[in-house]
């Protein structure tokens, strides 16, 4: 780049010095590097021009220039304006380096975007480090990459104040964690902990347990913070008339009246639970000494029986572990009712009750329990929660209240960066706005050492990854998925018109294989996005055709073909995407948003397999849907099959197959809530086999 004085700088990933220690290349994270990245139409950052190179190793393939007028501004006149604007007059256009990066083939990992950071992205990633920053960005706007590059920028510009051990990256699942894990090392930031959200509470769970989804949703609600706090408070206080401690030397019993004991306990009730217990114990020791003076040269332990004293303190303020407290709470209807009064309904309170195991070591804990245990530990003893100087959270729109609470508890000072898209919010915790998240982030729960008055929200509007051809289809669902958000604007064309392949349900796997073959031949990274119920048919068809693939739900991605559910596709990107049965996706829970996610996973090619002639109405005007094939043979008619038990009407086998598949799908939601995800396809397959046998087919 060249500044107003004519001085030139070269900007790169890292600083390169010559023998005289003079910079040849300046790190992009420096203020000088920031000028290069922030310069844009209307704000030249004091530059005359900047040039972006497209390279292949040590060879420059191409370059693009941006020129700015700065003389008037330098003299105090009007702000600088770039010489060129794009066709719509917005002054926003992508240079060759960005276009080349978007056209490059994808693989199983996300890559850094240093060479293609845009001005709108840089202004967000370099925002005040100490704020709670919320980045709203549609698919392909680069919000995940911006959040990760922000972390790298913060580590560089806060050197000494933070290091790799003091920051944390949180994603919703292990697949996304694996996908992004190479970005920070590529930026020179090694040793940063990157985890799925479930790992925050895993250390509290020794024995897993299953529960109904309705119970899990309730436990994940942020109201449980108040229930747990009141439950702990209710464990404090002397229920009897007095507290008694044995005095071995005199064989007497020291007595403290209940009013004095409870007054002391109330004095420390604002403290974290275990700290309050320690303070109360010290106060009671002093009360005993004041009432029963120690003999000369005698210690408290010599005058008062230690075991007796500790047991009396436990009567007032019991020592508890997170597991012990939650076990006691959930197995006592009385404790639950007292803790949840005015917070939960009676029906909700009853959902939480469960019988306890014979011993605490045998007690099982669910995924939702893990975050409750994390919160209980924070209220018992905050020092036992690992805390970080800055936390990056991706796909934050799907996090439950207690998951967000665990992230807050893991923050030492409230420095958080959250990235997400309300339009892609799905699952049990889906939301239609960021209000509930922002309210929770600014709420100060008991024992939290920091507070935040507000959350700064920034929006990324321009879509760089998703081509216009796919974005047009996704935007047709905007009124259903997020009517209050700005419509994302794609900045490039892929030159590939989405194709539609018709298929009957019994032929879906063959249609998928036919659609995928050209992309496989071109060596592309492919995402087959299909409802889980279809995976059992698609997988064997790919195997039989000798097409290597992976089920992305297993926490890994391949460089070739990946079979993935719409839910698991969130945050991922592929060269080519094949969406199987978009109508079935659309008709499911949060279906419009899941279809929106599926449509925006591609960087180049998009194909759709239309099953049984059904396609969401919003998409139809934007697609060239082929006419149904004319049947060659006469249509199947019902036939009668005679069994040993006598005649019974049977439909044609092809119709029976369809019925079996549809029957299995009706039970899929129940299966998914009770069966491990890896086993669901096989369970569905077994169900279909049983139905076929029962039907005599």
- What are the binding residues? 137-144
Radius of gyration of the chain from its Cα atoms, rounded to whole angstroms = 31
Are 619 and 470 in contact by the 8 Å Cβ rule? The answer is: no
What's the distance, CA 175 to chain centroid? 11
Residues 323, 336: Cα–Cα separation, whole Å: 16
Q: Alpha carbon of 228 to those of 219, 353, 600: distances in Å?
A: 11, 14, 40
Element (H, E) at 338: helix 333-340
Are 463 and 138 in contact by the 8 Å Cβ rule? The answer is: yes
* DSSP bridge partners of 63: 53
Are 445 and 401 in contact by the 8 Å Cβ rule? The answer is: no
Q: Which two tokens stand for residue 119?
A: 């001005």
Positions at the binding site for ATP: 137-144
Helices then strands (H, E): number in the chain? 28, 24
In order, the DSSP letters of 56-97 are ETTEEEEEEEEEB--HHHHTTSSPP-BS---TTSSS----HH
Residues 106, 558: Cα–Cα separation, whole Å: 10
The residues near 107 (Cβ < 8 Å, ≥ 6 apart) are 525, 559
Nearest to 45 by CA among 92, 79, 6: 79
Residues 193, 587: Cα–Cα separation, whole Å: 38
What's the distance, CA 313 to chain centroid? 43
Q: Alpha carbon of 616 to those of 583, 586, 612: distances in Å?
A: 5, 7, 12
Q: Which two tokens stand for residue 208?
A: 């897993």
* DSSP bridge partners of 17: 23
* DSSP bridge partners of 327: none
Residues 156, 174: Cα–Cα separation, whole Å: 27
Are 399 and 172 in contact by the 8 Å Cβ rule? The answer is: yes
Are 170 and 200 in contact by the 8 Å Cβ rule? The answer is: yes
Residue written as tokens 């995402």? 527
Q: Which two tokens stand for residue 457?
A: 């929200």
Residues 234, 340: Cα–Cα separation, whole Å: 11
Element (H, E) at 55: strand 47-56
Considering only the C-alpha atoms of the chain, give the largest distance between any 2 of them, rounded to a whole number of Å: 110
Q: Which two tokens stand for residue 434?
A: 């960021």
- How much of the chain is in helix, strand and coil states, percent to nearest 5? 40, 20, 40
Nearest to 372 by CA among 205, 210, 495, 533: 205
* DSSP bridge partners of 610: 502
DSSP summary character for residue 15: -
């Amino acid at each position: 780049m060249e500044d107003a004085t004519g001085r030139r700088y070269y900007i790169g990933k890292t600083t390169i010095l010559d023998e005289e220690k003079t910079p040849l290349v300046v790190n992009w994270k420096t203020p000088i590097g920031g000028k290069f990245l922030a310069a844009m139409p209307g704000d030249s950052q004091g530059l005359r021009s900047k040039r972006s190179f497209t390279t292949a190793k040590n060879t420059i393939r191409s370059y693009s220039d941006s020129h700015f007028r700065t003389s008037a501004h330098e003299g105090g006149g009007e702000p600088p304006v770039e010489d060129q604007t794009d066709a719509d007059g917005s002054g926003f256009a992508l240079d060759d380096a960005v276009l080349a990066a978007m056209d490059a083939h994808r693989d199983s990992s996300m890559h850094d975007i240093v060479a293609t950071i845009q001005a709108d992205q840089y202004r967000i990633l370099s925002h005040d480090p100490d704020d709670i920053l919320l980045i709203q960005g549609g698919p392909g706007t680069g919000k995940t990459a911006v959040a990760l590059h922000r972390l790298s920028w913060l580590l560089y510009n806060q050197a000494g104040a933070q290091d790799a051990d003091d920051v944390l990256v949180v994603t919703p699942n292990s697949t996304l964690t694996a996908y992004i894990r190479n970005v920070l090392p590529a930026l020179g930031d090694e040793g940063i902990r990157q985890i799925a959200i479930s790992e925050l509470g895993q250390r509290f769970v020794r024995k897993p347990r299953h529960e109904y989804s309705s119970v899990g949703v309730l436990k994940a609600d942020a109201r449980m913070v108040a229930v747990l706090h009141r439950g702990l408070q209710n464990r404090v206080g002397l229920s009897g008339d007095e507290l008694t401690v044995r005095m071995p030397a005199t064989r007497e019993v020291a007595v403290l009246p209940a009013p004095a004991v409870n007054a002391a306990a109330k004095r420390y009730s604002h403290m974290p639970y275990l700290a309050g217990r320690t303070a109360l114990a010290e106060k009671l020791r002093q009360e005993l000494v004041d009432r029963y003076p120690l003999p000369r040269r005698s210690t408290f332990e010599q005058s008062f029986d230690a075991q007796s004293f500790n047991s009396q303190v436990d009567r007032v303020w019991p020592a508890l572990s997170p597991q012990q407290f939650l076990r006691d709470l959930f197995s006592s209807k009385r404790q639950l009712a007292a803790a949840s009064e005015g917070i939960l309904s009676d029906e909700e309170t009853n959902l939480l009750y469960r019988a306890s195991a014979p011993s605490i070591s045998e007690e099982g804990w669910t995924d939702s329990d893990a975050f409750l245990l994390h919160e209980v530990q924070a209220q018992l003893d905050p020092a036992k929660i690992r805390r970080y100087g800055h936390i990056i959270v991706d796909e934050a729109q799907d996090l439950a209240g207690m998951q967000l609470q665990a992230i807050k508890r893991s923050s030492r000072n409230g420095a958080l960066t959250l990235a997400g898209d309300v339009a892609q919010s799905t699952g049990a915790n889906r939301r239609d706005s960021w209000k509930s998240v922002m309210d929770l982030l600014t709420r100060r729960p008991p024992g939290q050492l920091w507070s935040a008055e507000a959350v700064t929200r920034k929006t990324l509007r321009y879509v760089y990854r998703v081509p216009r051809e796919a974005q047009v289809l996704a935007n047709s669902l905007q009124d259903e998925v997020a009517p209050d958000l700005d419509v994302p604007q794609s900045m490039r064309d892929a030159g590939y018109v989405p194709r539609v392949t018709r298929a009957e349900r019994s032929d879906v796997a063959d249609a998928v294989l036919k659609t995928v073959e050209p992309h496989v031949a071109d060596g592309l990274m492919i995402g087959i996005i299909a409802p889980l119920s279809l995976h059992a048919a698609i997988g064997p068809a790919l195997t039989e055709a000798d097409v290597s693939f992976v089920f992305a739900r297993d926490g890994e991605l391949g460089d070739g073909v990946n079979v993935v559910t719409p839910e698991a596709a969130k945050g991922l990107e592929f060269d080519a995407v094949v969406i199987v049965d978009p109508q079935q996706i659309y008709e499911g829970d949060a279906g419009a948003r899941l279809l929106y996610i599926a449509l925006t996973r591609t960087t180049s090619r998009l194909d759709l397999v239309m099953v049984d002639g059904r396609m969401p109405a919003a998409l139809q005007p934007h697609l060239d849907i082929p006419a149904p094939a004319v049947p060659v043979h006469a249509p199947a008619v019902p036939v009668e099959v005679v069994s040993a038990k006598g005649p019974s009407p049977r439909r044609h086998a092809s119709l029976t197959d369809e019925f079996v598949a549809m029957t299995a799908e009706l039970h899929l939601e129940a299966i998914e809530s009770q069966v491990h995800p890896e086993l669901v396809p096989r369970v569905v397959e077994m169900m279909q086999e049983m139905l076929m046998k029962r039907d005599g087919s």
